[in-house]
């Protein structure tokens, strides 16, 4: 039975403010960093993921982000969702109050 490697995305922290960011398609060099996991580029093949990680590491060397790494995701509702709890917390924010972090409605964040 063939094994299926999971889809992966790349995350890091932006050096300027520490915000969790995701490697996404776009920009002059092909990739940019975005704050929403829904915007992340999803890599289904290991060679593509490894090549993208090398590009992300170049951004680390240029002091744009800190510690870029790959992690497994699954697609739900057309959007990538982390498989591991740690990554879900990084993507969505604190688990103790739903009125804070990225999971909060925009009106709640403005209050």
pTM of the model: 0.80
Q: pLDDT tens digits for 34-50?
A: 999 999 999 999 999 99
11 falls within a domain: yes
Full domain range(s) for residue 88: 7-110
Spatial separation of the C-alpha atoms in residues 46 and 76, rounded to whole Å: 21
105 falls within a domain: yes
Lookup result for tokens 């699954």: 74
Q: pLDDT tens digits for 52-99?
A: 999 999 999 999 999 999 999 999 888 899 999 899 988 887 676 777
50 falls within a domain: yes
99 falls within a domain: yes
CB of 64 closer than 8 Å to CB of 10: no
61 falls within a domain: yes
Total number of domains constituting the chain:
1
1 falls within a domain: no
């Amino acid at each position: 039975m063939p094994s299926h490697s999971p889809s992966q995305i790349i995350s890091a922290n932006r050096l300027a403010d520490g915000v969790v960011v995701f490697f996404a398609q776009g920009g002059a060099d092909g990739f940019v960093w975005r704050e929403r996991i829904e915007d992340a580029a999803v890599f289904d093949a290991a060679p593509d993921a490894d090549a993208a990680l090398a590009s992300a590491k170049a951004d680390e060397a240029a002091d744009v982000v800190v510690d870029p790494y790959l992690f497994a995701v699954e697609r739900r509702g057309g959007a990538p969702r982390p498989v591991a709890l740690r990554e879900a917390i990084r993507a969505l924010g604190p688990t103790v109050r739903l009125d804070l972090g990225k999971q909060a409605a925009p009106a709640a964040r403005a209050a």
